[in-house]
Chain A
């Protein structure tokens, strides 16, 4: 498969662009997980407060 010069230049920049997008996706997934964990912990804390209060 023969690539034209323009295609290769575009590919080089596209690789970087895609990498940043992948990073954003990973961060989004991490954020979702952190949100879930915080909610769990908040429920735990509420439960504890109720038991002690």
Chain B
């Protein structure tokens, strides 16, 4: 049975409370306290939730790749589940990035989608890539083969991030989408503080959810072992 500190729930409630407080603070700061941007108006406030979610998605994919590397290098089985859950979180946050990004696009430019936002396009490509990750896992039977193939694919994913970004930038040469720009917010001190708080809150949220899901899955595995032992 697994008894690793990562799955112990002792620190988790405290972490969850801190996350709740941070989220509450972030919401208040983002929606009420932060000054309104002169150029973009109220729609700029979406920035405080959209960008942290995007950054957190990258973080989750990176964490998944790190666990994958550890699996291939050290061979311990637990890294497979940790990698999988991290990528699962990353994909969810990636989907949220696309959704909040689309809402922001609608608010800024009146369209739900544009090919000119490199970050949105990159997330679309990554989202498709990591959805295929789950298809890969579903089509292989549980075991070291699946764990290793998933790990290799996860590593390909993080390699794809910069390469794709470069490709999207280069593609502007011959694809000319109607270019929308947003005046990057000249971030005042309070705006930056709001962003930092929001980023911290979203990262904490992702980590808490990651730990919760991991614990749940480990419990499942333990119960299955128990059942087999009792029957």
Task: Note whether A and B contact each other (Cβ less than 8 A).
Answer: yes
Q: Tell yes or no: B21 within 8 A of A by CB.
A: no
Tell whether, in the assembled complex, residue A15 and residue B100 are in contact, meaning their CB atoms are under 8 Å apart: yes
CA distance A13 to B23 in the complex (A): 11
CB-nearest residue of chain B to A38: B223
Chain A binding site: helix, strand, loop or mixed by DSSP?
Answer: helix
27 A-B pairs within 8 Å (CB atoms) are namely A3-B106, A3-B107, A5-B41, A8-B43, A8-B46, A8-B106, A9-B31, A9-B43, A11-B103, A12-B50, A12-B100, A12-B104, A13-B30, A13-B46, A15-B99, A15-B100, A16-B53, A16-B96, A20-B205, A27-B216, A34-B216, A34-B219, A37-B223, A41-B227, A44-B227, A44-B230, A48-B230
User: Sorted from nearest, which 6 A-B pairs have the closest CB atoms?
Assistant: A8-B107, A12-B103, A12-B46, A44-B230, A12-B100, A5-B42
Q: Total contacts A to B, CB within 8 angstroms? A: 63
CB-nearest residue of chain A to B43: A5
Known: A8-B46, A23-B209, A44-B230. A30 touches B96 (CB 8 A): no
Q: How large is the interface on B (under 10, 10 to 19, 20 to 34, 35 or more residues)?
A: 20 to 34
